[in-house]
Amino acid sequence: MLTSTDAPPATRSRASYRPFAVEVAKVLRVSTSFTRVTFTGPELHRFGTAGLDQRIKLVLPLADSGLTHFPDDHSWYDRWRLLPDEHRNPLRTYTVSQARPHLREVDVDFVNHVHVHVHGSGEGVGVEDDEASQAGGPAARWLAAATVGDRVAIVGPDADGENPRVGIEWQPGTARTLLLAGDETAAPAICAILSALPRDARGAVFIEVPCADDKLGTDAPAGVSVTWLARSGARGALLEPAVRDWVSDCRATQQASQPSAPRAVQTAPGESRADDAASGPEGGILWEVPEECPTDGLYAWLAGEAGVIKRLRRFLVTESGVDRRQVAFMGYWRDGKSEPN
């Protein structure tokens, strides 16, 4: 007979990700380019709170049938893929800005389209965007008309699931110097990562955003500098030189034998060709994430528009000799390409 001291540990048998039925509780315009939507739902007390850059899927309603055809069980994905096109709800990927399971609430920060008009104020704000509603993608059209009470679904981590940390790409290992760089689409993930860093972390963050007022709230350790770059030209025109300058400064510091400086690993023969292969075909997914940084030197996390991220990654790996296993890079979107359903 098992006693309380020799009982086997509890096992998790639930799926790591599952759909949560939610509705809009608040719509808050936080800056020119960001709108925060708070979702609430009866099952969100079981929503996972691993945080960092953990991905979720927003299931958008269809114009004629809402969420009627969306599978709401743990085998949702396979069943969703088998649905005819006219019944398949669009899915879009986001990062949770904040989860409050005790209140059954989840915040998600959305990037607005350019021509967004605001009515109301504070938590009662509404947004309208004629251009987005006519020509934008499903998420832009949904956000343009979002209002309290609108029903959607979130596919996210189950706190009781087998692996509640699935979907997290931030894997710095024992790296002592951190570099995070991205555009407005990566800003929510970067802010979430910053809030979870140990207080003795060291490094730099560079975020290129459309407007000067797009600085989201951050909780960065004292040793991590955060630089917001208000875009004034082409995408990456400010982000890329900022990263290059910082890396150059770090290498100069390394040569002065500062222990906190990133240590580059010599690029192996053929590395540049491997770099191109990892970037994927034109129009394909640009995504490569090491399981864990193999050194206590530099760890770089890059996310945003695929073309910009590809150039940053090439600079680090090919030009600067940083081991590719020290660089996580994710093309969240591609300029001129819409995300397929």
- Average pLDDT (70-81) is 92
Q: Are 142 and 167 in contact (CB under 8 A)?
A: no
* Span 136-194, pLDDT tens digits: 789 999 999 999 999 999 999 999 988 888 889 999 999 999 999 999 999 999 999 99
Q: Residue 274: its pLDDT value, please?
A: 35
pLDDT at 257 over 50: no
Top-confidence residue, 86 or 264: 86
> Residue 255: pLDDT band by 50, 70, 90 thresholds?
low
For the chain, give every residue range classified as CATH 2.40.30.10: 17-157
Higher pLDDT, 287 or 193: 193
Residue 133 has pLDDT above 50, yes or no: no
pLDDT tens digits, residue range 324-333? 999 999 999 9
- The pLDDT-based confidence of 120 (bands split at 50, 70, 90) is very low
- 226 — pLDDT class (breaks 50, 70, 90): very high
| Structure-token pair, residue 166 | 């699935």
For position 131, what pLDDT does the model report? 40
Break the chain down into helix, strand, coil percent, rounded to 5: 25, 30, 45
- Please state, in angstroms and as integers, the Cα–Cα distance from residue 170 to each residue in 96, 260, 264, 309, following that order: 14, 20, 19, 16
Portion of the chain with pLDDT greater than 70, in percent: 79
- Please state, in angstroms and rounded to a whole number, the distance separating the CA atoms of residues 183 and 209: 6
Q: Domain 17-157 in CATH: superfamily? A: Translation factors (2.40.30.10)
pTM, 2 dp: 0.82
Q: Is the torsion defined by CA of 211, 238, 227, 305 positive or negative?
A: positive
- Comparing 253 with 152, the larger pLDDT belongs to 152
Cα distance between residue 271 and residue 274, in whole Å? 5
Q: In this predicted model, which residue has the larger pLDDT, 296 or 116?
A: 296
Decide: 262 and 290 in contact? Cβ < 8 Å: no
267 vs 252, more confident: 252
| 58-72, 151-165, 264-278: least confidently modelled range | 264-278
CATH fold of 177-333? Rossmann fold (3.40.50)
Q: Is the pLDDT of residue 252 over 50?
A: yes
So what's the pLDDT on residue 253?
73
Instruction: Give span(s): CATH 3.40.50.80, the chain.
Output: 177-333
Burial class of 257 by CB neighbour count within 10 A (0 to 12, 13 to 18, 19+): exposed
Return the SS3 of 313. helix
pLDDT at 338: 67
- Chain mean pLDDT for the chain: 83
Residues 6+ apart with CB under 8 A from 44: 20, 22, 99, 101, 104, 105, 106
pLDDT score for 64: 92
Query: In terms of Cα–Cα distance, which of 164, 147, 6 is closest to 96?
Result: 164
Q: Could you say which DSSP state residue 192 is in?
A: H
Rounded to 5 degrees, φ, ψ at 228 are -95, 130
Identify the band that residue 295 occupies on the pLDDT scale cut at 50, 70 and 90.
confident
Residue 336: the pLDDT is 73
Nearest CA to 155 out of 232, 263, 218, 78 is that of: 78
Mean pLDDT throughout 4-15? Answer: 50
User: What is the phi/psi pair of residue 127, to 5°?
Assistant: -125, 145
Model confidence at 8: pLDDT above 50: no
